[in-house]
Amino acid sequence: MSKLGQVVEAVEKYNKFVLDQVKRARSDEQFGRELVNRWNETKAKTPVTHTPTGLPLPRLALPEIDEPGEIA
């Protein structure tokens, strides 16, 4: 198999893994809760910076989501 074929195969496997995780997060309540907790913990640990006008902003722009399937 060519290098490009290996890359394509790896991407397809990754996409399948992500879809499996999304399905699991939506069906397995405990796993979904763990994901939400990890997400909230990450958001809480994200440092805050201040703009020149004094507006506090997180240094990493994370979306405001709370649905485990979206987080997965």
Residue 17: pLDDT band by 50, 70, 90 thresholds? Answer: very high
pLDDT beyond 90 at 36: yes
> What sections of the chain are H helices per DSSP?
3-27, 29-45, 68-71
**25: exposed, middle or buried (C-beta count within 10 Å: 0-12, 13-18, 19+)?**
buried
Residue 18's pLDDT band, with cuts at 50, 70 and 90, is: very high
Q: Which of 66, 47, 44 is nearest to 56 (CA)?
A: 47
Structural domain boundaries in the chain = 3-71
Per residue in 38-55, pLDDT (tens digit) is 999 999 999 999 999 999
The pLDDT, as a whole number, for residue 45 is 95
* Spatial separation of the C-alpha atoms in residues 10 and 41, rounded to whole Å: 30
